[in-house]
Structure formats: structure tokens, C-alpha cells
Amino acid sequence: MEIRVGVIGGTGVYDPKILEDLREIDVDTPYGKALIYQGSFQGKEVCFLPRHGMTHGVPPHKINYRANIWALKKVGVNRIISTAAVGSLNEEMPPGSAVLIDQFIDFTKQRALTFFEDGQEGVVHTDFTEPYCPEVRKHLLENSAPSGLKVLDYGTYVCTEGPRFETPAEIKMFRSWGGDVVGMTNVPEVVLAREVGLCYATVTLVTNYAAGISKSILTHEEVLQMMAENIDKVKQLIMGTIAKMPKEVQCNCEKTPGKMVV
């Protein structure tokens, strides 16, 4: 199978200069349009999708997740590496470290969470025992050393609705549930990717300790500063992994029972 990797960029990650033969694609989907930047990198096709828009103007609870995932599948992407800025609930995951999350807890409240909602495919219950593609996670971990990032190969992501930050009471609850990091974008993105049979993994960059753990009041500027300090390392991790990613797909993500056909 031709390798065509999708990179969903969170805060500060999108960089069109990385790709050759760059073109902009406006993809029509049943859920609206999605903007994708497609090009090549060391012989592999790569599609960048800026999650918050090119001007970072779309808040997390307003992102058209269904259009984004549908569009990537429609243009032939078979693997997705997404990025996300997160707050840490775990002292072993300090600011500046990268966490390859392997589980999530969904605490969103009003988002469209699935492609299976009109009943035409019957009632579909998708298995999420292993939410993130083990193969893509393995490739990221194996190629992490040159980036200079401290990369942890486990972590439970708590997804909140946003756009506000969490209260200390909420963080205390999330920690008691076993959460390690908290963010606002990974759900329903990971769910939708599995529903269409895409391999999907997420690199989270810890930008701060969460409310009640941090000794100071949280600000978006703090997040942007930490991302700016580590953005080149994140790009190195992602693009270095893509360059060495083998053609063969060994996982079972594409074989998701009852998957939605795009």
C-alpha cells in the first residue's frame, strides 16, 4: 500500500516549508469542507491538516472533527500522526516532555462524537481496547532519540470540552481516575479515525502542570511559549518517523469491524 501519512497539527506544528511540491486542497465532505496541504517528504506523500485553522482561529469545541477525518481518508491517507499541547497531572511528565498517549477518558459534553448516528449502518459499537495504533506508536518511539525530546510511551489523556482551562477540583478528580495529561482536542478525533479504519497515534507535548498542581495561574501564552521552545523537536520526531516508516502495515486498525466506508 502506498504510504500517505496525515499530520494533524496542533498549536504551532504546521510548517509548509517541510514539504516539496506543496499544493492546497479544499476537500468536500458530508460534514463540510476541510483544508489540507499535500506534498512530499523523502519520497512519501504527506498531508498536513491545521486543526485550528491557519490562523489558529477555531476553538477546540468548534473544530469540525468529522470533516477533517473524512477528508484525510478521502484523499488516501492511511496513517495519522496528530499533535496536541497538554497539561500534566503526573509529576513524571514534566513540561517539555512528550507523551505517546495510549488511553483516553472522554469528558467532552456537546461534540459530534461519531460517524454512526443516523442508523443507516445499524447500531455500531466500535472496540476501543487499544485506542491508538500500536504500530505508529512503536515507530514514533523507535525514532524519538534524534529529536532530543524526553518521550514517554504511556499516558492516559483526559479530554475536556474547553475552551476554558480546568478547575483544580476537576484536575483532582481526573488524577483520581488515573489521568496523566489533560487537553481539549483528542476526542472525538481518535474515535473518528478508528471508525473509518485509519491508523492513528498522538504525540502530546506537555506545556505546563495543570490547575492546582501548577504554582501559578495558567495562561495560553504559557502554552505558546513552551510550544515555541520545543516545536523543532516535535517536527524532528514526526518527520523523522515518517521518513523511516515502512510501507507495510502490520496492525489491525484498517480491519475495524463495521467501519464507515468513505
The dihedral of CA 179, 197, 239, 20: what is its sign?
A: negative
Closest by alpha carbon to 154, among 97, 226, 80? 97
Helix (H, G, I), strand (E, B) or coil at 27: strand
Query: Which residues, in sequence order, are CB contacts of 149 under 8 Å at separation 6+?
Result: 96, 97, 98, 230, 233, 234, 237
Bridge pairing between strands 151-152 and 103-107: unpaired
The dihedral of CA 118, 6, 203, 223: what is its sign?
A: negative
Query: What's the count of helices (H) and strands (E) in the chain, helices before strands?
Result: 5, 11
Q: Return the ∠ at Cα 86 (arms to 154 and 170), rounded to 5°.
A: 95
pLDDT band at 1 (very low <50, low <70, confident <90, very high): very low
pLDDT band at 250 (very low <50, low <70, confident <90, very high): confident
Rounded to an integer, what distance in angstroms lies between the CA atom of residue 251 and that of residue 234?
24
225 against 89, higher pLDDT: 89
Q: What is the mean pLDDT of residues 134-144?
A: 97
Q: What is the mean pLDDT of residues 31-59?
A: 89
What CATH architecture is 4-243? 3-Layer(aba) Sandwich (3.40)
Q: Is the pLDDT of residue 117 over 90?
A: no
Highest-scoring range by mean pLDDT, 39-43, 115-119, 137-141, 227-231: 137-141
Rounded to an integer, what distance in angstroms lies between the CA atom of residue 71 and that of residue 78?
12
| C-beta neighbour count of 250 within 10 angstroms | 9
**Domain residue spans of the chain:** 4-243
pLDDT band at 14 (very low <50, low <70, confident <90, very high): low
Phi, psi of 175 (to 5 degrees): -65, -40
